[in-house]
Amino acid sequence: MRIEIDAGVFQGYVILHNPLTIYQAATFEENVFSALKMDEGLKTIRSHQMLIPSIMECVKEWHVTKLEGVTVDTFPGMGVGIPRKDVAKLVNDIVNALLKYFKGDDPNA
């Protein structure tokens, strides 16, 4: 399943595992609920830090500028040429796409 990415400096697409394993789905669901309890709008770095490992579990391939070879340990938070707002949009867009995917909806709609 291909998800288009348009988040400022991050452009391209990711390929999700299809289907997700029960482990991948359960881990993502648990982390989303935990992150939402802490930060309802998913706007803080801490909430994104909670979500990155499960996002990485669900994404099979990354074809996104500035994320070549990205891992849980190297996922950017912010820096020169990488605005925090772009990181937030990237994480939130992938989370929203995964939530649509969970419902059986088109994640790109």
> Which is it for the CA torsion 41, 43, 46, 48, positive or negative?
positive
Query: Cα angle at 52 between 107 and 71, to 5 degrees?
Result: 105
- Average of pLDDT values for 1-5? 95
Edge to edge, what strands does the sheet with 10-16 contain?
2-7, 10-16, 59-64
Give the domain ranges of the chain. Answer: 2-103
How does DSSP assign 4-25, residue by residue? EEEETTEEEEEEE-SSPPHHHH
- On average, the pLDDT of the chain sits at 93
pLDDT at 64: 97
> What pLDDT sits at residue 66?
94
pLDDT digit string, tens, across residues 89-103: 999 999 999 999 988
Cα dihedral 54→55→57→63 (10° resolution): -170
Write down the pTM of the prediction. Answer: 0.91
Please give the pLDDT value at position 52: 95
Which of 13-17, 28-32, 78-82 is predicted with the least confidence, judged by mean pLDDT?
Answer: 78-82
Find all residues with CB under 8 Å of 12, minimum gap 6, and list them.
Answer: 5, 62, 63, 64, 65, 67
What the block records as the tokens of 63 is 């074809």
